[in-house]
Structure 1
Amino acid sequence: MKGILFALAGGFFLTFQSVANATISDQIGTWQAAAMTQLTGFVLAILIVLALRDTSIKHLKKVSPLYVSGGLLAAFILFSNMTAIHRMGVTLTISLFLIAQLIAAIVIDGKGWFHMAKKNVGKTQIAGVVLMIAGILILKW
């Protein structure tokens, strides 16, 4: 149940952040807004780690550089998101982002990439993606 609540919260926060970032980018520029978002997120995360007195950061050297560099993708994610919102609006942007995430997740699960447990991808998963794409087409009308 907690996983569902966190997933829903993440979805809501992502949408609100996307709208806020697009608004900020109108005022200061897209890359500047991405930098500001990354910086404020970093500061908050560090403050939370310090407040929790979490010492697991000491093990950072054990993490593969491939995974450590994952944060670099956030700058491109933010830029893409803000640019798409300006061109297509919030609903279509978030819908397409969700489809892209779902397709990537199915491939990762199906192949077992990034040390994830390999899961069978069947007709029902493919049907789910097709139905989501149909939903986007209906939203677009």
Structure 2
Amino acid sequence: MKGILFALAGGFFLTFQSVANAAISNGIGTWQAATMTQFTGFVLALAIVLALKDRSYRNLPQVPPLYASGGMLAAIVLFSNMTAVHRMGVTLTIGLFLIAQLITAVVIDTKGWLDMPKKNIGRSQILGVALMIAGVIVLKW
């Protein structure tokens, strides 16, 4: 149940962040807005780590560099998201982002990439992705 709540909260806040970032980028530029977003996110995350007195960051040297560099992907995500919102609007952007995430997740699950356990993907999961695609097509009209 907690996982569902966190996933819903993530989607909720991602949508608001997309709108806010697009508005910010109008005034200061897209890469500048991505920089500001990354920095303010860092400050908040650091404050939470310090408030919780969580010292697990000491294990960072044990994290493979590929995974430790994940924050760099966030800069690309932010830039892509802001640019898409400007060109297509929030609804279509989020819909297409979700489809891209689902397709990528299906591939990662079926292949077991990035140290994830392999999972069988059945017809119902493929149908779910197809319905998402159909839904975005309907939204586009």
- Matches of 2:122 and 2:3 in 1, distance apart? 23
Corresponding position: 1:65 with 2:61:
no
- Matches of 2:30 and 2:69 in 1, distance apart? 21
Corresponding position: 1:17 with 2:14:
no
1:138 is matched with: 138
Corresponding position: 1:126 with 2:126:
yes
Q: Return the offset for 1:124.
A: 1.1
1:3 is matched with: 3
2:91 is matched with: 91
2:114 is matched with: 114
- Matches of 2:78 and 2:8 in 1, distance apart? 20
**1:44-99 superposed Cα distances (whole Å, 9 cap, x missing partner):** 00000000000000000000000001110010100000000000000000000000
**Runs of 5+ consecutive residues of structure 1 not aligned to the other structure:** none
Q: Return the offset for 1:108.
A: 0.5
2:41 is matched with: 41
Q: 2:70 corresponds to which letter in structure 1?
A: G
2:26 is matched with: 26
Q: Return the offset for 1:129.
A: 0.7
Q: Return the offset for 1:122.
A: 1.4
Q: 1:123 corresponds to which letter in structure 2?
A: R
**1:83-139 superposed Cα distances (whole Å, 9 cap, x missing partner):** 000000000000000000000000011111111111001111111111110000111
SS where residue 119 of structure 2 aligns?
Answer: coil
**Runs of 5+ consecutive residues of structure 2 not aligned to the other structure:** none
The normalised TM-score by structure 2 is: 0.99
1:101 is matched with: 101
Paired residues in the alignment total: 141
